[in-house]
Amino acid sequence: MITAAQLRAARALLGIDQRQLAELSGLSVPTIQRMEASDGVIRGNVDSLMKLIGALDGAGIELIGDGATSRGGGRGVRLKPPPEG
């Protein structure tokens, strides 16, 4: 699973725009725009999601789920849990 926020962050880390991501993934620019405008987890066609995740993986992006650890030792970012209270 990938969230819209993860997708925008991944694109920023790669330094690419929506058009370039569309080309890498074989998806249309409007599809990328819809995915990035989603609220929370991106929902959509399984084939499109697999193309997107495959393109990000091939470009060097590791998607890290909630509570998961990173497989690699490279740099990364992660949101901290909100403070209690």
Q: What is the pLDDT of residues 25-65, one digit of tens each?
A: 999 999 999 999 999 999 889 999 999 999 999 999 988 88
Confidence of residue 75 (pLDDT cuts 50, 70, 90): low
**Residue 58 has what pLDDT?**
94
Domains of the chain: 4-58 (1.10.260.40)
DSSP string, the chain: --BHHHHHHHHHHHT--HHHHHHHHT--HHHHHHHHTSSSB----HHHHHHHHHHHHHTT-----TTPPPSS-S----PPPPPP-
Q: What is the pLDDT of residues 6-34, one digit of tens each?
A: 999 999 999 999 999 999 999 999 999 99
